[in-house]
Amino acid sequence: MTTCGALLTRGIERLGVGPQPGHPESRPDARLDAQLLLAHVLGVERSRLLSHPEAPCSDEQVRLYQGLLERRAAGEPLAYLLGRREFWSLELAVSSAVLVPRPETELLVERALALGPTGAARVADLGTGSGAIALALASERPQWQVTATDISAGALGVARANAVRLGLSRVNFRLGDWFGALSGETFDLVVSNPPYVGASDPALAQLQHEPQLALTPGPDAMASLRLLAGAAGGHLAAGGWLLLEHGAEQGSQVRAALVLAGFRHVRSHPDLAGRERITEGQR
């Protein structure tokens, strides 16, 4: 018989052996990751796992846990293994069809809430993925009419399921590339976290398990950002705002693209690490 305590020790040792290919930060998170994975397999809270190390584990649980450990050691995101990720206090289901929502993207939600009206508004989230941004905005502003688009049918399936489970089914999801599904429509706010990693960027090696379509627009890392900056004016009401998430070194280029497209009040905002992460402009 294998106890939970013994199995957990084994898991920490497996994940804490040092950096793994494509996942150099594995060592610092080894203990927490091992605990979360075992709690997931056993269907218990992490606190109970720690308070009852003598509890027995079945052979099937041992097998499942070891399989998850190997996938985590190979760099697969913890969120995919658990099937969920918290964003803006919302628990979202995630799969390999969508990017794992990042904490820095919450800044995009903060800025949208700060710039948008407290009353009714029309809002578009382009490249919605798991629906994280759209659902966060809908949860905070019940009067907003939120439309979310994505080119991936798989991603929209995940987003729609999240909306239903969270009771935010009024969000409208559409299949299409950027503004392609919004022909003739205008909005008070347009927000997007588009792909902004160049195809030759070494950082992609660390993100190999996530959908590349959502990470890189190709050789030109700015391609999607420039496209959105250039096309957004035709879909924004007078005084409407465009908010874009981008890479830490792209702020000046995004500001230039927005100014060139005729936006005013163009400014960038840093994330918690002090890196320019969100740039906004007003039509």
pLDDT in tens, 134-157: 999 999 999 999 999 999 999 999
Q: What ranges do the domains of the chain cover?
A: 2-76, 96-282
pLDDT in tens, 183-225: 889 999 999 999 999 999 998 888 889 999 999 999 999 999 9
* Mean pLDDT along residues 241-258: 97
For domain 96-282, the CATH superfamily is Vaccinia Virus protein VP39 (3.40.50.150)
H helices of the chain, in order, are 4-15, 30-42, 46-51, 59-73, 78-82, 106-115, 132-140, 153-165, 223-231, 251-260
Q: Tell me: pLDDT of 22 over 60.
A: no
* Mean pLDDT along residues 5-26: 70
The CATH code of the domain at 2-76 is 1.10.8.10
Q: Which residues contact 167 (CB under 8 A, 6 or more apart)?
A: none
Q: What is the pLDDT of residue 49?
A: 83
By CB atoms closer than 10 A (0-12, 13-18, 19+), residue 1 is exposed
Count of CA atoms in the C-beta half-sphere (13 A) of 106: 10
pTM for the model stands at: 0.89
CA angle 205, 270, 173 (to 5 degrees): 70
- Cα–Cα nearest to 131, from 178, 169, 104: 169
- Cα–Cα nearest to 134, from 180, 171, 165: 171
